[in-house]
Amino acid sequence: MTVGAAEDRGFSMDLSQDLCEMRDWVHEFAETVIRPAGGEWDEREQTPWPILEQASKIGLYSLDFFAQQWLEPSGLGIPVAFEELFWGDAGIALSLVGSGLAAAAVASSGTPEQMGEWLPLMFGETGDIKLGAFCVSEPEAGSDVAAIRTRAVYQQATDEWVLNGTKSWVTNGGIANVHVVVASVDPELGSRGQATFIVPPGTAGLSQGQKFRKHGIRASHTAEVVLDDVRVPGRCLVGGKDRLDSRLARIRAGGSAGDQAAMKTFEATRPAVAAMAIGVARAAYEYARDYSLSRVQFGRPIGQTEGIAFMLADMSASVDAARMLTWRAAWMARNRKPFNHAEGSMAKLVAGEAAVKVTEHAIQILGGNGYTREYPVERWHRDAKIFTIFEGTSEIQRLIIGRAVTGLDVR
């Protein structure tokens, strides 16, 4: 193979000029606005509206910013932005990007008209900020998405869908302007009989149930969403009724279901969630590294002891390894390369586990200080744990990878 051919393939680990500029811009906001506010909003356990407002003013909390990064040609726009935001503080950052999951659900399977109508309403505008929420999980259906009981029934006379059920642990649940809800239209078909619906702002019958008090990411609102005879117009079925009808007919005739909508959203967003975990891990690694250089015991910085330096070496290597897997998955997703070896799940698994381990090491390196709320690493450790739970637990990621590598129906 000639050198020219290698150049033509264009492989490079360098970020483009545009990505570097975007990364530095997001980092500045994370460093000057998000990081200093992390402790306060963790204690308040409330959505940090003033910070969302500040982010909106500079265009960081906006549909434009999300769309631009989502469509960035290398696929690295979202991972690079999310790593910086979550480096600042995970709870605040999740409030800033939570609407993105609902937007991704509509963008991945919706019609152009649906995207044009509903996505702007998930972000609002400066002075009138709005949120989106993606409602899949239920009290009896977390990992087992096929067990969803929320029902959607079509009423031909009025061209309306009527939704009933209870969704659990929904980020922005009940406080969002637009809720995107996965429901069963044909329970006999399990996950293949599910569809996704948009619930417009102010629709009667949708209410917030219990708001959960949490271990970490406490600035992000998590609540139940109750759907009691919620009626939405026919145009709110994501992808449209013709597409749903032909999919269901194909399945009933014994054909393939194609991609299941909720799963399609999670596949697309896994690299983004991995990048969130990397941001938290990197924050903890950097903090512990700096601390180890200034904390002196036995007459020398603790970083000069092998015990601490080896821990820092493992932390640094884990962060970089997770990032490489994440960038690979993000690049594949953007370039429509199928995750034949469960590359998205690999990124989410490794990054989530790394975040927990690295933040735990960080507490160890800070010793007694690390265990107190005077220092941020105990909060980052609490925040990190969510990344082994939501958007598919670590066990579920291993199941997906296990199936890909063995070709067997591992359960």
Ligand X SMILES: Cc1cc2nc3c(=O)[nH]c(=O)nc-3n(C[C@H](O)[C@H](O)[C@H](O)COP(=O)(O)OP(=O)(O)OC[C@H]3O[C@@H](n4cnc5c(N)ncnc54)[C@H](O)[C@@H]3O)c2cc1C
Query: Near ligand X by CB under 6 A, which window of 53-61, 186-194, 223-231, 384-392?
Result: 384-392
Q: Which is nearer to ligand X, 133 or 312 (CB)?
A: 133
Q: Which is nearer to ligand X, 308 or 400 (CB)?
A: 400
Q: Which is nearer to ligand X, 19 or 261 (CB)?
A: 261
Q: Sketch the per residue contact string, 189 through 228, with ligand X: x for CB under 6 A, - otherwise.
A: -------------------------x--x----x------
By CB under 6 A, tell whether 148 contacts ligand X: no
By CB under 6 A, tell whether 390 contacts ligand X: yes
> Residue 126: phi, psi to the nearest 5?
-55, 130
Half-sphere exposure of 124 (CA within 13 A, CB side): 19
- Residue 71's closest CA among 262, 337, 333? 333
Name every residue whose Cβ is closer than 8 Å to that of residue 356 and which is 6 or more positions away in sequence: 381, 384, 385, 387, 388
In this structure, are residues 319 and 358 in contact, taking their beta carbons and an 8 Å threshold? yes
Q: Residues 45, 125, 391, 395: which is the catalytic one?
A: 391
- Residue 339's closest CA among 347, 329, 351? 329
By CB under 6 A, tell whether 380 contacts ligand X: no
By CB under 6 A, tell whether 137 contacts ligand X: yes
By CB under 6 A, tell whether 181 contacts ligand X: no
Q: Which is nearer to ligand X, 22 or 354 (CB)?
A: 354
By CB under 6 A, tell whether 61 contacts ligand X: no
By CB under 6 A, tell whether 123 contacts ligand X: no
Give the pairing type, strands 300-301 and 296-297.
antiparallel
Q: Which is nearer to ligand X, 52 or 386 (CB)?
A: 386
Distance CA 171, CA 175 (A): 9
Q: Which amino acid is residue 45, in one-letter code? A: E
In this structure, are residues 63 and 131 in contact, taking their beta carbons and an 8 Å threshold? no
By CB under 6 A, tell whether 85 contacts ligand X: no
Residue found under tokens 């990878």: 401
Among this protein's residues, is 391 annotated catalytic?
yes
Q: Which tokens in the block code for residue 330?
A: 């993000």
Sole binder of ligand X in the list 143, 297, 335, 372 (CB under 6 A): 143
The binding site for ligand X (CB under 6 A) comprises: 134-137, 142-143, 169-171, 214, 217, 222, 386, 389-391, 393, 395-396, 399, 411
Residues identified as active-site = 391
